[in-house]
Amino acid sequence: MLTVTDSARERITELLDDFGADGALRVALQEGGSPLAPHFELELVERQDREPGDVSLDVGGMTVFADAASAPRLQDAIVDFAAGVFELALPAAADSPGDDLAARVAAVLEQRVNPAVAAHGGRIALAGVQDNVVYVRMSGGCQGCGLAAVTLRQGVERMLREAVPEIAGVRDVTDHADGRNPFYGKE
């Protein structure tokens, strides 16, 4: 079942206040991205605007609509709100051989990388691991920042390779054109 983290639920609830009791969240996966970090759209709608074919989910008392094509892929997905940006994480296959590798990479991101980029209002999340290649998504001050590629290669990749030497590479799946608050950008 789709999970909405406490931080995402709080922000969605604030936004849904304008809709009253008739508001709902629509989640749709879009073409593009990578298999581990697809593009997605979150939209606030009124319940009567439910599209034909939409699947209605009750997520802890919150109504969520998903189009029929997206609904099966959203099983066990997580909607989060971190560093001022909504994120959607799709689960990796439960029997994925990269699970241990993914757990070690996630630990390095949380313990070493994110404290460093947090000083600039950024966050770097693990989108997944496939064939020993690590896929990350940048948000907050890192999304849209002109130095994101430098941060990735000289900071993130270096730290990850030191701690987890068997990784074959690090790929950024961030849509940097959608960045709204890069550290040195306009407020």
Task: Look at the pTM and tell me if it is higher than 0.95.
Answer: no
Which is nearest to 46 in space by CA: 29, 69, 65? 65
Q: Does 81 share its domain with 111?
A: no
Amino acid identity for residue 64 in this structure: V
Q: Does 11 share its domain with 85?
A: yes
Q: Within a domain: residue 183?
A: no
pLDDT of residue 163: 92
C-beta atoms surrounding 12 within 10 Å: 22
Determine contact, residues 79/88, Cβ cutoff 8 Å. Answer: yes
Q: Is the dihedral of CA 165, 147, 7, 114 positive or negative?
A: positive
pLDDT of residue 180: 61
Q: Does 113 share its domain with 148?
A: yes
Q: Does 174 share its domain with 103?
A: yes
Q: Coil, helix or strand for 102?
A: helix
User: Would you write out the chain's pLDDT as a tens digit for each of its 187 residues?
Assistant: 788 888 888 998 888 887 777 888 888 887 765 555 567 888 888 888 888 889 998 888 888 899 888 888 787 788 888 777 788 877 654 444 446 888 899 889 988 898 888 888 888 988 888 889 999 988 888 888 888 899 999 999 999 999 999 999 999 988 877 766 555 444 4
Q: Does 107 share its domain with 79?
A: no
Domain boundary among 58, 89, 120: 89
Q: Coil, helix or strand for 27?
A: strand
Q: Does 41 share its domain with 115?
A: no
Cβ-based neighbours of 156, under 8 Å, separated by 6 or more: 109, 113, 124, 136, 170
Q: Within a domain: residue 172?
A: yes
Domain boundary among 69, 89, 109: 89
**CA angle, 46 as apex, 44 and 49 as ends, to 5°?**
105
**CATH number of the domain that residue 146 is part of:** 3.30.300.130
